[in-house]
Amino acid sequence: MTGLERLCSDPSLLPRPGRLGLLTHPAGVTRDLTPSAVALLRAGVRLERLYGPEHGIDGSGQAGEAPEVATDRQTGLPTHSLYHKQIPEIAELIAQVDTLLVDLQDVGARFYTYVSTLVQVLEAARQTGTRVVVLDRPNPLGSVVEGPVLEPRFRSFVGALEVPLRHGLTLGECARLVNPQAHVIPCDPLEPFGYGGLPWVPPSPNLPDLETARLYVGTCLVEGSAASEGRGTALPFRLVGAPGLDAVALARRLNGLELGPLRFRPAYFTPALSKHAGQHCAGVQIHVLEPLARALPVGIALVGALAEQGLELNPDWLQKLLGVPFEPELFVPEKAQERCQAWELAARRYAQERLSGAWLYPRG
């Protein structure tokens, strides 16, 4: 059960809500795919307005976009985008409600921006006195931590909290890191996605399925290179390349590494948008053969192999994504597994020492 479903089944969990708003997106649904705003209204929770994060309240925006929609099509409620807004602007918008419900499906990676929007909302709510209530949802990547812990100097909108890259937290637990007294209506954190579990609705346009979300922890690092990460194709974050690359050599290089149960196939494609839109690209498609426990080594090795073919890297963006200083040595393909194992050991210790106070659910 999600926090949304728990509140719908028992609206008394939200006493004296006053004027009510909801921050949500298309992945905010019940298991029968009823949008959260519709489900809450049917349950007698009287919403007055809706708010949306990156990609917009209707999910139609690409990366870095949040189309303004004046009125929600299903409920007729007024809507407001919180993306690309500074905290004073967010404070002005949420001051229109006494209680703001948050029902967002996060994916468990620090650079995914819904946590950043939540952090901004919590800061704005301190200024306005608005009560924020997180309707919690399972982390599709579970409670495993992976990658380096963000260094404060690299804090940005793709790194709002000092947590490991794969943070192992639910959105409600992230809220408790910011405010230990944050109001969270809990979920069943172990409920799976897919058959017999929760439906997977893409939380953003380029995470169409759970396998892509698992790879995203690593392959998102391709954003820090001149290569296309597959945006504008049918296989975002599973198809990587650029004009002029040697696809056969790239696949051979990556397949020669011990990166887990996956294979790299030479691939050729033309993105419809984003990097290299309309240009013929050569690269690789990543084929996952069995459930992949760790994806970060894949991303580290992939970026390194792209650089070996002369592709330019963007140190500033890689620093923001990883949360640690850029060093070319971080991306030596042969050392990817070793590097990521060291980060993970440190991240586990950090989680026990610094994050466990925010945990709402038992860890194995």
pLDDT digits (tens, 9 = 90+) for 94-149: 999 999 999 999 999 999 999 999 999 999 999 999 999 999 999 999 999 999 99
Residue 213, token pair as written in the block = 């979300």
For residues 146 and 13, what is the distance between their CA atoms, to the nearest angstrom? 34
Contact call for residues 282 and 239 (beta carbons, < 8 A): no
Region 327-331: mean pLDDT is: 97
Return the SS3 of 293.
coil
Contact call for residues 59 and 204 (beta carbons, < 8 A): yes
**pLDDT of res. 291:** 92
Region 228-245: mean pLDDT is: 98
Q: Please, which pLDDT band fits residue 65 given cuts at 50, 70 and 90?
A: confident
**Could you write out the three-class secondary structure of 102-115?**
EECCCCCECCCCHH
Contact call for residues 79 and 50 (beta carbons, < 8 A): yes
Region 177-184: mean pLDDT is: 97
pLDDT single digits (tens) 29-54: 999 999 999 999 999 999 999 999 99
For residues 214 and 203, what is the distance between their CA atoms, to the nearest angstrom? 13
How remote is the C-alpha of 213 from its chain's centroid? 8
**pLDDT of res. 224:** 98
Q: Please, which pLDDT band fits residue 57 given cuts at 50, 70 and 90?
A: confident
Q: Got the DSSP string for 27-92?
A: T-B-TT--BHHHHHHHTT--EEEEEE-TT-TTS---TT-----SB-TTT--BEEE-TT--HHHHHH
For residues 118 and 173, what is the distance between their CA atoms, to the nearest angstrom? 11
**pLDDT of res. 68:** 83
**pLDDT of res. 216:** 98
**pLDDT of res. 70:** 87
User: Any bridge partners for residue 78, and if so which?
Assistant: 71
Nearest to 119 by CA among 57, 76, 78, 162: 162
For residues 201 and 218, what is the distance between their CA atoms, to the nearest angstrom? 21
Regarding beta strands 146-149 and 281-288, do their DSSP bridges make them parallel or antiparallel, or are they unpaired? unpaired
For residues 89 and 80, what is the distance between their CA atoms, to the nearest angstrom? 11
Residue appearing with tokens 């049917």: 42
**pLDDT of res. 304:** 98
Region 261-266: mean pLDDT is: 98
**pLDDT of res. 67:** 85
Q: What is the DSSP letter of 168?
A: -
